Structure 1
């Protein structure tokens, strides 16, 4: 992990200071209305834990899925990362998003940190059994949260270029959640809550970015910026260091 951040730092050094500025302060401003959709999704999942009606609905869907399963597909293990990876692929092909690589990476890492801490904390607190009986860490779906986190990032970065980039990201994220149920790894409530957490994590990262950037920016040299990028891989929490000249 550290070596990847070193490589990233070397890449970022090739950019001039002007190219690393946030043009016209294009960051998302906090708006309570943005909490509605992720709030409803997360709320549905949480209510579903203690609701007999929603729990029965979970079992109905599981039974429907089981009847039509011929074999399992592990595509969701990879598709969860596709939306986030697409933001870098588009930039590599010369399609500019809202932010440059440095800013985008800080936002993505912050989103992943928020999402990872939230998902794993809820798994330990709720201890919901998985549909296949393999463990008591079903709620919420981490794969789905990761996918929707990336989809929201893709949407925010490229919605002004073309709305279809964001829509494509959300289609992939939705497919990831569907495959988690198809593979009998999660209940519907797990997937819905995971989607809400993923979306909210990215929104929060955008809201917090100006503060994070100011907090870790070097004050000794106006032409140099040093940034600590948080990361969380599901097991370890840490920070990477990026220095921009």
Structure 2
């Protein structure tokens, strides 16, 4: 069945992404060593997987063959639908929540609460800007005809952003944490298609945006941290990033206390 093929296709991409990062002999540079204040080194090859995913989604918008494949998948999915399952509204946050849940249970990740929260907030900001910019630029109609903001999938982007964060934080503890996060993210994307809310190209591009957003947040962390920890700032000043999602838009708030 075409629908089963979708799941295999997505899982294959996720597995390839994890494998590609695992075999990188310099993968220790993928995240920060905060204890030694090491600067994160940008590597072009880290862009390959998310770029391929995002590129596939963008090319699919104007490609007759890929659009035909989108329609074929949609028709196959619609034949099997008895009722909708809104689990994707919640599963998108599971990988993110797992990062803090594991820490709460005493399983420490690579970074402390403050540092990974800053990374998360930066990821949310990048992902939110990218997703909403693409939605307003391409104006792709959803499969169910409900709106013109189908591309890319924000739910999928959120899920994969969290999955990449989970992977980066806990890959040295156990790679299975990251794999589990990616499987949940893939399931979120599959349910977006099952619920007739997104095309395959939307989901694939959303996955790429989510992964890239978290990678970029780790690359930018030294700069962001320096800004927050600047000696010019009042030593009693505290700054907290608060990400939000209102059902339509993703963003973050900045709260400062003196």
TM-score range, shorter chain: 0.7 to 0.9
Aligned with 1:52 (options 55, 64, 71) = 64
Structure 2 match to 1:239: 253
Q: Is the 8 A contact 1:217 1:226 kept in 2?
A: no
1:125 equivalenced with 2:132 (yes/no)? no
Go from structure 1 to structure 2 and tell me whether the alpha carbon gap of 1:177 and 1:235 turns closer, same or farther (over 3 Å shift): closer
Distance 1:144 1:194 in 2: 5
Deviation at 1:221, TM superposition (A): 7.8
Q: Is the 8 A contact 1:110 1:230 kept in 2?
A: no
Deviation at 1:24, TM superposition (A): 3.1
Distance 1:199 1:237 in 2: 17
Once the two structures are superposed, residues 102-140 of structure 1 have per-residue CA deviations (whole angstroms, 9 ceiling, x without a partner) of: 001010011011001110111011000000000000000
Distance 2:106 2:39 in 1: 21
Deviation at 1:70, TM superposition (A): 1.4
Distance 1:53 1:120 in 2: 26
Go from structure 1 to structure 2 and tell me whether the alpha carbon gap of 1:59 and 1:96 turns closer, same or farther (over 3 Å shift): same
- Note the residue ranges of structure 1 that are not aligned, 5 or more in a row: 1-20
Structure 2 match to 1:76: 88
Deviation at 1:240, TM superposition (A): 2.3
Structure 2 match to 1:150: 162
Distance 1:231 1:216 in 2: 17
- Note the residue ranges of structure 2 that are not aligned, 5 or more in a row: 1-32
Go from structure 1 to structure 2 and tell me whether the alpha carbon gap of 1:157 and 1:130 turns closer, same or farther (over 3 Å shift): same
Go from structure 1 to structure 2 and tell me whether the alpha carbon gap of 1:68 and 1:188 turns closer, same or farther (over 3 Å shift): same
Q: Which runs of structure 1 show a deviation greater than 4 angstroms over 4 or more consecutive aligned residues?
A: 220-225, 234-238
Go from structure 1 to structure 2 and tell me whether the alpha carbon gap of 1:118 and 1:232 turns closer, same or farther (over 3 Å shift): farther
Q: CA RMSD in A?
A: 2.2
Distance 2:256 2:177 in 1: 28
Distance 2:210 2:198 in 1: 16
Distance 1:238 1:111 in 2: 10
Aligned with 2:171 (options 159, 164, 170) = 159
Q: Is the 8 A contact 1:38 1:200 kept in 2?
A: yes
Number of aligned residue pairs: give it.
224
Within 5 Å, which residues of 2 pair with 1:2-41? 22-25=34-37, 28-41=40-53
